[in-house]
Amino acid sequence: MEFTKMHGLGNDFIVVYGEQALPADASSLAVRLCNRFFGIGADGLVYILPSDKADFMMRIMNSDGSEAEQCGNAIRCVAKYVNDNGLANRTEITIETLGAGVQPVQLEVVDGKARRVRVDMGKPILNGLDVPTTIDADPVVGATATVDGRDFTFTAVSMGNPHAVIYVDDAVHFDLAKWGPKLETHPLFPRKINVEFATVNSREQVDMRVWERGAGPTLACGTGACATLVSSVLNGLTDRRATISLTGGDLYIEWDEETGRVYMTGPAETVYTGTL
């Protein structure tokens, strides 16, 4: 199997092209290959597949073998892969995902290589039961999840996958390892949840750290950055355009007031190619 190691702001993936459908052993293969000590090492295993609705389809398996409905950093990597390998000879393409359907993508190309990618992430889902949570409200803002006697106030947003955004005094130094896994599996979230801890520094900039469902702490999360901006607008904390600063770098997120669609702009990088 030929693969390409890629990352979006340090959120890294093993990207595979050439399969006609998701392999039956994709889950177990992801667990084995994503292991950073006995495998290649990655946050997820990404397959670029044919689509009858878009130019390509993306399927992503988390490092624990579960499947993610969507991943903002992975879709930028897929866009870069198909451009850099001559599979799409134009700067606007479409990529189908499980959670968000067909997503239009624009590429900034320099000397034939994609440097930055802007993705139409679609409209956020704000109805609590659809995120999903067990809370029947639309939107879910200011809800409380209690863990080990500590109350966390969160806003629930789905960007094709579920997120709970929690505001803290210092997201950069927040104890992800302690609270992330407990919130991920909280009974309020029937399909588990991605958890973002955010600190708003201005109307245009937010620090964010993430505990990803099925992967744990990662250096960046594109859908999480989108969910954080949406949450921050709903809570009156930021404008509709802001920079979300993650461990691996910055993403620029826009929530268009007229269309209701969210746009994510950021880099993608190729690390190396190999054969397993």
**Quick check: 161 pLDDT over 90?**
yes
Q: Map tokens 């030929």 to a residue.
A: 2
Query: How much is the CA Rg of the chain, to the nearest whole Å?
Result: 18
Of 34, 71, 77, 226, the active-site residue reads 71
The mean pLDDT of 166-180, rounded to a whole number, is: 97
How far apart (Å, rounded) are the C-alpha atoms in residues 100 and 42? 23
What does the pLDDT average to over 106-132? 97
pLDDT, tens only, 25-62 = 999 999 999 999 999 999 999 999 999 999 999 999 99
Percent of the chain with pLDDT over 70: 100
Q: Tens digit of pLDDT for each residue in 120-155?
A: 999 999 999 999 999 999 999 999 999 999 999 999
77 is catalytic: no
What mean pLDDT value characterizes the chain?
Answer: 97
What pLDDT, on the 0 to 100 scale, is given for residue 67?
97
For the segment 232-269, what is each residue's pLDDT rounded down to a tens digit?
A: 999 999 999 999 999 999 999 999 999 999 999 999 99
pLDDT at 89 over 90: no
Pick the catalytic residue from 34, 77, 221, 226.
221
Residue 71: active-site member: yes
